[in-house]
Structure 1
Amino acid sequence: MKITYFEDTDTAHIVFANTDPVETREMSENMYVDIDAAGNPVSMTIEHAKTSGALTKLEYEQVAAHIA
């Protein structure tokens, strides 16, 4: 996953996979998700990321699988 923030336009672009998108879906007025041919998310664009509160703090945590 790669997150790029463009300060001049207050836009965040989050890449989930390195596949080619075939469709862009508008989730809201300021959020778009690119989808690949299999229906999986490829990337997400968030406009007005900081001013809308969508990108005020970034945290990442990976939790190990629990094997029973």
Structure 2
Amino acid sequence: MKITHYPETDSIYIDLSNRPSFETKEINSDLNVDLDESGRPVGIDIHGNASQYVDIANIQFETAKSKLSNTQYSISRM
């Protein structure tokens, strides 16, 4: 996943996958979701006024692995 912020337009694009976009669905005037040929989401576009929806300065990332590191559980491959 990759998040790109475009400050000049106050927009954010969130790449969810490296699969190509086939179709874009407009959710509302500020939000689009890009879908692949199978209808799976590959990207989210918050275009214009992104800072109203996302606290850009304080974006934090957590993974399941980091959440589990302080517990008795672990993640293993099957």
The aligned length equals 65
Matched, 1:31 2:31: yes
Q: Separation in 1 of the partners of 2:41 and 2:14?
A: 10
Q: Separation in 2 of the partners of 1:7 and 1:41?
A: 24
1:13 maps to 13
- Runs of 4 or more above 2 Å deviation: 64-67
Letter of the structure 1 residue corresponding to residue 31 of structure 2: M
- For residue 60 of structure 1, report the CA deviation from its aligned partner: 1.4
Unaligned stretches of 5+ residues in structure 2: none
Unaligned stretches of 5+ residues in structure 1: none
Sequence identity of aligned pairs in percent?
A: 31
TM normalised by structure 1 equals: 0.83
More strand by share: 1
More helix by share: 2
Spell out the pairing of 1:1-68 with structure 2 (5 A cutoff): 1-47=1-47, 48-50=49-51, 52=52, 54-56=53-55, 57-64=58-65
Letter of the structure 1 residue corresponding to residue 7 of structure 2: E
- For residue 58 of structure 1, report the CA deviation from its aligned partner: 1.3
Superposed CA RMSD: 1.6
